[in-house]
Amino acid sequence: MIFKIQIVKAMKKIILLLSILFVGWQAASAQKWSELSKEEKMMKAKAFREDNQKYLKNTLGMTDTQLTDIDNVNACYLSTLDRIGRYVKTDEEKEKYAEVATAARSAQLDAIMGVEKRDQFMKYVEDKMKNSKIQLDK
């Protein structure tokens, strides 16, 4: 049980870092992700997650249990993508497996949040990306 808690905590940290790669946030000036220090990346990741958690809870009315379940779904998704990247040989196969994992994640989030609230959250994240002053590396 303790090992499982440690894994969940570690995966939450990974989620924080990886979520920054996919979404933007407000910053004083435009900067590339690669130009930020490890500490700056961690601070921005934590701030981004806190903003998302507040939005999910306060705007969409998610319960603490739903927030935990969403974190667990995302942790599982990221670890699945990691294993796909590690064990699958070709880019074509990796993409195929990643699409299946993404569809499964989407279905789980729809079950937890409901389709309408999930769409609303996706729009919120999309708007955050558009307003971001951090440029993600390509």
Query: In this structure, are residues 17 and 46 in contact, taking their beta carbons and an 8 Å threshold?
Result: no
Instruction: Give the Cα separation of 49 and 106 in Å (integer).
Output: 19
Tens digits of residue pLDDT in 48-105: 888 899 999 999 999 999 999 999 998 899 899 999 999 999 999 999 999 999 999 9
Instruction: Give the Cα separation of 112 and 69 in Å (integer).
Output: 7
What pTM was computed for the model? 0.68
